[in-house]
């Protein structure tokens, strides 16, 4: 049985439309996720101690004030924008507790991070992959009183 040219064209068009309809949700999800990743990368700034410490003065009492003002929906908090530079340049490595507090200010409330010595709230999760996700800089000191480990964690 021979299929006519018109039938082949109809099959080809239907296949193309079906592929587009199936691929659209996946493509939309990928582009949405990439938007936040690229946006976050473009908004990064070098670490600056005074700006880091002014975070609480700008936004009141951390997370509660950010949620109340819906700030997270419009921009990334300054700590989130500079934490990658802080980590990449290894600014904290080997510093004493006194030096870290002079650089970053007093530790925020620990909440559920009791195993860490100092905890700093950075802001809501950068990639919008979970509602209620927050990022924190956590720091641990060794027996000599110097920074032995520091990382960004999510709650």
- The whole-number average pLDDT for the span 109-136 is 78
Average pLDDT over residues 21-35: 80
* Token pair of 103 as six digits: 């650089």
Q: Is the per-residue pLDDT at 73 higher than 70?
A: no
Domain range summary for the chain, segments of one domain joined by +: 43-154
pLDDT given for residue 148 in this prediction: 96
Percentage of the chain exceeding pLDDT 70: 81
How much is the mean pLDDT over the chain? 82
- Please indicate whether residue 70 or residue 145 has the higher confidence score (pLDDT): 145
CA nearest neighbour of 60 among 102, 113, 121, 136: 121
pLDDT band at 92 (very low <50, low <70, confident <90, very high): very high
Which segments within the chain are labelled E, that is strand? 118-124, 134-141, 147-154
* 30, two tokens: 């990928």
């Amino acid at each position: 049985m021979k299929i006519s040219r018109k039938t082949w064209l109809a099959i080809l068009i239907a296949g193309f439309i079906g592929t587009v309809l199936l691929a659209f949700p996946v493509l939309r999800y990928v582009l949405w996720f990439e938007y936040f990743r690229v946006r976050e990368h473009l908004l990064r700034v070098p670490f600056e101690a005074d700006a880091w410490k002014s975070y609480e003065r700008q936004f009141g009492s951390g997370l509660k004030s950010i949620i109340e003002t819906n700030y997270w929906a419009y921009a990334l908090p300054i700590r989130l924008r500079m934490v990658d530079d802080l980590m990449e340049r290894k600014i904290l490595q080997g510093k004493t507790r006194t030096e870290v507090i002079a650089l970053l200010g007093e530790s925020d409330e620990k909440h559920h991070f009791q195993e860490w010595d100092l905890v700093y709230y950075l802001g809501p999760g950068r990639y919008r992959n979970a509602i209620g996700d927050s990022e924190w800089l956590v720091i641990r000191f060794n027996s000599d009183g110097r920074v032995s480990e520091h990382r960004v964690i999510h709650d």
